[in-house]
Amino acid sequence: MYSKLRFLIPILLLALVCGLAVSAAPTLSADEILSRMDRMEGVNDMTCQLRMVVTSKSGQTQIRNMTMYTKGKADGTQFVFVKVDLPALIKGTSMLSITRPKQAGETWLYLPALGKPKRITASESGGSFMGSDFSYQDMGTVRTEDYTSKLLRTEKLDGDEVYVIESVPRTEEIRKASGFSRQIWWIRTSNFTRAKAEFYDQSKKVAKVQLSSKPVEVKTGAWFNTLMEMSNKGLGSKTEVQFSNVRVNTGVKDEFFVVENMKE
């Protein structure tokens, strides 16, 4: 009896210590998870090609080939620059998005026919990007300070463990600008890439669904989704974006992400 008791004591102590260790492990907040979503650690800048296929409800398709440049800075500033290569009719059309912490974001659109860049207002940010099911806002980064977010649960999605987070606009102005009453995110726990997102309209019905897949490791510990699809439930249309020729840390300068470069 005594020998059995001596054997059990270390096991019980080990179980207690392990239990304490597990309970003491830090739990990420919803804002922390969202701030890490799609942020590639160790990647300062990225350049890639993308092929966008817009399919209407009737099955008609439009194809656009583009080049995208992105850059993130230590202070949280994010730059996104997209330029159309094909078709020739809209070649040279470009979009510039600049997101800074605790500041109003900037989005600019350049149409060669107009000859000068036009700033997209907050009320226009929910508008269609290049005639696709993605909005200008979708092409930028998520501003966590604009939303009240909470972690709903973790679950399995297509074999991946994911965080499920609900985000609700903090103000009526933000709600109107985005066009959505709330958003639900499914974010992979293994690499913080988004797997799915649902966007709810003002009547609280699902308006759009985004699926993101085929993540690749572009740098050790840094993952990037190479396939995205956005479905518009109201219009019955969908847009698929495939990314290729992904290059990171090529030294793109901050000066590249300026309005003056949009016309070049």
Report mean pLDDT in 10-residue bins for the chain, 264 residues.
39 33 59 87 93 97 97 91 95 94 88 93 87 88 89 96 96 88 96 96 95 94 95 97 97 95 86
In a domain, 113, yes or no: yes
- The β-bridge partners of 79 are 71, 98
Structural domain including 213 reads: 38-263
Specify the pLDDT at position 105: 83
Separation of alpha carbons 206 and 119, rounded Å: 29
Q: Which pLDDT tens digit goes with each residue over 205-216?
A: 999 999 999 999
Q: Residue 145 has which token pair?
A: 């300070």
In a domain, 17, yes or no: no
Separation of alpha carbons 20 and 6, rounded Å: 22
Specify the pLDDT at position 3: 43
In a domain, 194, yes or no: yes
Helix (H) or strand (E) holding 63: strand 61-72
In a domain, 21, yes or no: no
In a domain, 31, yes or no: no
Specify the pLDDT at position 40: 82
In a domain, 7, yes or no: no
**Kind of pairing between the strands at 147-157 and 160-169:** antiparallel
In a domain, 3, yes or no: no
In a domain, 9, yes or no: no
Q: Is 259 helix (H, G, I), strand (E, B) or coil?
A: helix
Separation of alpha carbons 140 and 83, rounded Å: 14
pTM score of the predicted model: 0.84
Phi, psi dihedral angles at 101 (to 5 degrees): -60, 135
Specify the pLDDT at position 107: 94
Contact between 216 and 224 (Cβ < 8 Å): yes
Separation of alpha carbons 27 and 25, rounded Å: 6
Please enumerate in sequence order all residues whose Cβ is within 8 A of that of 166, keeping only pairs 6 or more positions apart, or say none.
30, 149, 150, 152, 182, 183, 184, 185
| Count of domains forming the chain | 1
- CATH of residue 130: 2.50.20.10
